[in-house]
Amino acid sequence: MYSQRLLDHFQNPRNSGTLQPGGEGVVVVNAENPACGDRLRLSARIHNGAVAESRFQVQGCTAAIACGSALTVWLQGREAASLARLSPAELAQAIEHEVGGLGDASRHAAALSAEAVRLLCLRLGE
């Protein structure tokens, strides 16, 4: 079943919503898992090269919602350059740790969050 931390992020999501696209330093990306249809919109405000604020919106399963919430907490204050150096597996592992672990059937949720970070880093590199 799900860990207490995962259930807490699901029942009490942190930083849900979106930042105003076009706002100063705001980047918005959309990630999707084509296998299950889960979707994650991540918006982040970058200030002095670090994530100053982030928000998420998820259409998906319990684990995807919890991972989106945990992702925004984990991103807070992280430098964009250090995020870009992490592999997708390292990103997914960090998010999985934030929610207290995931079963095999739910690992796609952490991978979705990792994909959103990868897309964010690509947008920042443009």
At 52-84, the pLDDT tens digits run 999 999 999 999 999 999 999 999 999 999 999
pTM: 0.96
Q: Which of 50, 51, 45, 38 is nearest to 113 (CA)?
A: 38
Domains of the chain, residue spans: 4-125
What per-residue confidence (pLDDT) applies to 1? 85
Q: How far is CA 25 from CA 3, 49, 119, in A?
A: 35, 10, 16
Distance separating alpha carbons of residues 15 and 49, to the nearest angstrom? 20
Question: Would you place residue 126 in the very low, low, confident or very high pLDDT band (cuts 50, 70, 90)?
Answer: low
Phi, psi of 56 (to 5 degrees): -140, 155
Q: Confirm or reject CATH 3.20.20.80 for domain 4-125, answering yes or no.
A: no
Distance separating alpha carbons of residues 83 and 36, to the nearest angstrom? 26
Nearby residues of 45 by Cβ (< 8 Å), 6 or more positions away: 19, 23, 24, 25, 26, 27, 51, 52, 53, 54
